[in-house]
């Protein structure tokens, strides 16, 4: 099939279809179960596609070993800047109303949802964007693969609070640069997960 359809075309086409299905035809509508839909569409199926074409998961950013390429000064300053933005966002009504409505009422379930359920969701999300798509397109498009899938990543924030939609562009670019430089989606996942935990904890406390 790759004789007629380049691998990058298959990955991009499949990626768009999977995003559409996960968005408009989730397996479960319930927020606590929606993560299963995301895991299926954005993790299980992409891995199946990679396996069918004899790909190596390491080539798609599935690397446990990676080297942090940025200086500690840049890391600390960026971290403090992002933390300040998260604190400010947690004080805005648009963020509070949006995320409170999507969290369980029970405080115990909220902690589980914020850390574990959202963690699984973001793991699939980051593998799909910063693994399957990014590294799947890099061989043909190089660094321009970042631009191609940044459009998809930002578009998936269209229903989020307006400020989060705007922030998803530089935020997505930052995570993509991290994944690209580290040759692994795992650092981007850890950063994204920690940001979500901090924001939601600030909102609910």
Quick one: tokens of 158? Answer: 């269209």
pLDDT at residue 4 in the model = 58
Q: How many Å apart are CA 11 and CA 170, to the nearest integer?
A: 24
Q: How many Å apart are CA 109 and CA 81, to the nearest integer?
A: 30
What Rg value do the Cα atoms of the chain yield, rounded? 17
DSSP 91-150: TSHHHHHHHHTTS-SSHHHHHHIIIIIHHHHHHHHHHIIIIIIHHHHHHHHTTHHHHHHH
User: What own/partner pairs with CB < 8 Å and gap ≥ 24 does 63-71 have?
Assistant: 63/182, 63/183, 63/184, 63/186, 64/184, 64/186, 65/184, 66/182, 66/183, 66/184, 66/186, 66/187, 67/182, 68/182, 68/187, 69/181, 69/182, 70/181
Q: Report whether pLDDT(155) > 70.
A: yes
pLDDT at residue 34 in the model = 85
Quick one: tokens of 171? Answer: 């935020």
Q: Stretch 113-117: mean pLDDT, rounded?
A: 90
pLDDT at residue 37 in the model = 92
Whether the Cβ atoms of residue 190 and residue 57 lie closer than 8 Å to each other: no
Q: Report whether pLDDT(60) > 90.
A: yes
Q: How confident is the model at residue 3 (pLDDT cuts 50, 70, 90)?
A: low
Portion of the chain with pLDDT greater than 90, in percent: 53
Q: How confident is the model at residue 145 (pLDDT cuts 50, 70, 90)?
A: confident
Q: Stretch 160-179: mean pLDDT, rounded?
A: 90
- Mean pLDDT, the chain, as a whole number? 89
Q: How confident is the model at residue 76 (pLDDT cuts 50, 70, 90)?
A: very high
The separation between the first and the last C-alpha atoms of the chain, rounded to the nearest angstrom, is 53
pLDDT at residue 120 in the model = 94
Q: Stretch 12-20: mean pLDDT, rounded?
A: 93
Q: Report whether pLDDT(132) > 60.
A: yes
Say which residue the tokens 């040759």 belong to: 183
pLDDT at residue 31 in the model = 67
Residue extents of the structural domains in the chain: 5-202
Q: Stretch 49-59: mean pLDDT, rounded?
A: 89
CA 155 to chain centre: 12
CA distances from 89 to 92, 98, 112, 161, 203 (A): 5, 12, 22, 10, 9
Q: What is the pTM of this model?
A: 0.92
């Amino acid at each position: 099939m790759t004789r007629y359809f380049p691998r990058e075309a298959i990955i991009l086409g499949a990626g768009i279809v999977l995003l559409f299905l996960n968005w408009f035809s989730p397996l479960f509508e319930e927020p606590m179960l929606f993560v299963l839909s995301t895991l299926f569409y954005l993790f299980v199926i992409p891995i199946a596609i990679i396996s069918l074409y004899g790909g190596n998961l390491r080539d798609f950013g599935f690397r446990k070993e990676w080297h942090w390429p940025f200086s500690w000064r840049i890391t600390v300053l960026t971290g403090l800047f992002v933390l300040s933005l998260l604190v400010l966002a947690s004080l805005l009504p648009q963020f509070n109303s949006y995320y409170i409505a999507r969290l369980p009422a029970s405080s115990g379930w909220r902690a589980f949802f914020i850390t574990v359920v959202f963690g699984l969701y973001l793991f699939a999300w980051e593998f799909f964007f910063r693994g399957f798509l990014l590294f799947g397109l890099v061989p043909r498009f190089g660094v321009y693969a970042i631009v191609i899938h940044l459009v998809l990543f930002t578009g998936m924030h269209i229903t989020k609070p307006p400020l989060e939609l705007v922030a998803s562009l530089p935020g997505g670019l930052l995570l993509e640069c991290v994944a690209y430089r580290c040759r692994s989606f795992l650092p981007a996942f850890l950063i994204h997960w920690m940001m979500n935990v901090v924001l939601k904890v600030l909102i609910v406390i």
